Amino acid sequence: MKIFLVLFLAFFLNAQANDFSQKKIIKIDQNEDEFKIIDLGQGIHNQKLDEQKALFDSSALKKSNKDKQVDFGILIGFRENFGYALDNFHIRAKDFSEQFSQRLIKDLNLRLINAAANKIYQAERMLNFSHPNKKFKLVELSKFLRQEKNKDKINTQFTDFLIAISLDDFYINITDFFFTSLKNAYAKINVKIISTSTNKIVLAKNINLRLRLDSENPKDNYENLLSQMPTMLAEVVNKEGAKLKVE
């Protein structure tokens, strides 16, 4: 009977491992396995889009009628709990968020404005206005964006939309079994896309990412996480950004 029980447990654990495979998962409810993104109703504080107050004034900027390409600015902020800690390996929130952002920008297929032009949108209030009980700090993105060599064009690039990303929460859940343990990393992220022509939010989503950590080495797990989670988020942002058109 004992031998049968051991064999049954071994079979059960193997089935569990197969179920939590390396497949990337983008989801909201960590207790469900299907692909799912929650839409926040296209507004903040239950406002309709045409009732929102302007987040910034871009009325002085004008885009050429001949330019139909969509240009994006990007803003990323993090909370202090967006840090990595597993066993004795720790990465503080500032460093984790910076490395996460670098990988994310690398995987974005959207047309991002140059580093100098992007600085105009770097303001914490852009992230904190919709999170009254949370405080976000900015990630310095200049070194990850294109450096414009033509001095006449450095600050003249028009921005159609601003991508505002809030790295809200990150944690690792460990489930222990008799002979092994399962480690899953979870990231909670808020994404907004704001029109610079209307100064209104056109898209608002909460996104939860989950990734299984298979290695016994916490540093290897961290490198694997950085190689996959930003790409998972980039897939969503690329898909939503590609839907937007210049009016």
CA distances from 20 to 16, 24, 221 (A): 6, 10, 15
Q: Which residue has the higher pLDDT, 113 or 20?
A: 113
- Provide the pLDDT for residue 158: 79
Give a yes or no: residue 45 inside a domain.
no
Q: Which of 28-37, 143-152, 211-220 has the lowest mean pLDDT?
A: 28-37
Number of domains present in the structure of the chain:
1
- Domain annotation covers residue 199: yes
**Does residue 181 sit within a domain?**
yes
Higher pLDDT, 187 or 20: 187
33, part of any domain = no
For residue 191, being part of any structural domain is answered with yes
Q: Choose among 219, 197, 208, 199: nearest CA to 63.
A: 197
Nearest to 100 by CA among 217, 243, 211: 211
Most confident of 6-10, 87-91, 106-110, 134-138: 106-110
pLDDT range class, residue 151, cuts 50, 70, 90? low
Give exposure, 45-84, as e/b (b: 16+ Cβ within 10 Å). Answer: eeeeeeebeebeebeeeebeeeeeebbbbbbbbbbeebbb
**pTM summary value:** 0.74
pLDDT tens across 40-93, in order?
Answer: 333 334 444 344 444 555 444 455 544 678 999 999 999 999 999 998 899 999
Q: What beta strand segments (E) does the chain contain? A: 25-27, 38-39, 71-78, 84-86, 89-91, 111-112, 137-138, 161-176, 181-195, 201-213
List, in sequence order, every residue forming a beta bridge with 203; answer none if it has no partner.
Answer: 193
Strand 71-78, strand 38-39: pairing? unpaired
Structure tokens at 38: 């929650």
- Banded pLDDT at 157 (limits 50, 70, 90): low
Is 63 within a domain? no
Look up the CATH number of the domain holding residue 183. 3.40.50
The residue to which tokens 């058109």 are assigned: 245
Domain that holds residue 83: 71-247
Token pair in block for residue 187: 């990231």
- Residue 66 inside a domain? The answer is no
- Beta bridge mates, 171: 186
Residue 56 lies in a domain: no
User: Which parts of the chain fold into alpha helices (H)?
Assistant: 2-19, 93-107, 115-118, 125-128, 218-242
- The pLDDT of residue 9 is 39
pLDDT at residue 127, as a whole number: 77
pLDDT bin (cut points 50, 70, 90) of residue 110 is: very high
